[in-house]
Amino acid sequence: MNILANDGIHASGVQQLIKGGHQVDETTVAQAQLASYLNDQNIEVLLVRSNTQVDKALIDACQSIKIVGRGGIGMDNIDVAYAKSKGIHIINTPDASAVAVAELVFAHLLGGVRFLYDANRSMPLEGDTHFNDLKKSYATGTELRGKTLGVFGFGNIGQETAKIAIGLGMKVIFYDPEISQVSISLSFFDGSSQAFQLKGTTKETVLKTSDYISIHVPSQSQYCIDRSSFELMKKGVGIINTARGNALDEVALIDFLNNGTVAFAGLDVFESEPKPEIQILMHPNISMSPHIGAATLEAQEKIGLSLANQIISISES
């Protein structure tokens, strides 16, 4: 099959596909020229990430497409229902990036409780002149052990986040309207493992009792965390969003950061991405990263191999 990896694919995935007898084109084609390119090159498989839109118009314009693959979990840039109605296979990689995203949650969370998001800004500017003042200002950090992490959305990434939290000695509660109870297993360096049974609770309970909140919901039309949600939270809560920019009301977030309800936030995604609002970028109590949740070498390799194996399986069926 002729495959276009328009947003890139790991070399391991390319090698796997070539080994399976497929041709892989790694050209990055602009959205406006994509339909023409797909038709000219007789592309049968289109692989995308978040940059490429696979909408009804593109699907109708490209009759050769048999498979559309999304490197990652969310498929809000693909008209999945319409593609399936046209007999197109839709594949994604829901497991491949879960560990990477979960670890980024704790990069932001650990940095948040020890003020690293601010210290890393202040030290280059004042570390040589106000070292003792900075030391004093950052001397009220807190520990995660014994605290409660509330997780919104308890799919693969939410569960991987819970595993890290449990490993750190945290209590985990979660809200997911589609999941009521989960058994998660922690694997350790010596080959042993330990299972934990977690039961879901209400959204209100998570908001009221969590010391920290991590968001792992798919793209949706309404905020997962809106202004009324902030009003229920404990004073001094920390919030991490590595899911979708539209999961969190950023205007409300700024207000509740300013009034002290939210102590800090960690954002990997933004409402106005790829141009985050200046109030977000300049806020002293927000730790930020540019949508890099799945951007580890290990995750990219797993994504590439997962896509390749699914394509080979479909082509051989």
The distance between the two most distant Cα atoms of the chain, rounded to a whole number of Å, is: 68
Beta carbons of 310 and 18 less than 8 angstroms apart: no
Q: Which of 244, 250, 271, 283 is catalytic?
A: 244
Q: Using a CB cutoff of 8 Å and minimum separation of 24, what contacts does 140-146 make?
A: 141/113, 141/114, 141/115, 142/113, 143/113, 144/109, 144/110, 144/113, 144/168, 144/169, 144/170, 144/212, 145/169, 145/170, 146/170, 146/171
CA distances (Å), 257 to each of 174, 206, 233, 266, 278, in order? 23, 19, 12, 12, 15
Beta carbons of 199 and 222 less than 8 angstroms apart: no
Q: Which of 103, 273, 277, 301 is catalytic?
A: 273
The DSSP bridge partners found for residue 151 are 174, 214
Residue 169, Ramachandran bin (φ over 0: left; ψ between -120 and 50: alpha; else beta): left
Cα 285 from chain centroid (whole Å)? 21
CA distances (Å), 26 to each of 15, 107, 197, in order? 12, 32, 44
**Residue 277 designated active-site:** no
Residue 177 burial class via C-beta count within 10 angstroms: exposed 0-12, middle 13-18, buried 19 and up: exposed
**Residue 121 designated active-site:** no
**Residue 244 designated active-site:** yes
Assess whether the previous peptide bond of 276 is cis (omega < 30° from 0): no
- Positions annotated as catalytic residues are 244, 273, 291
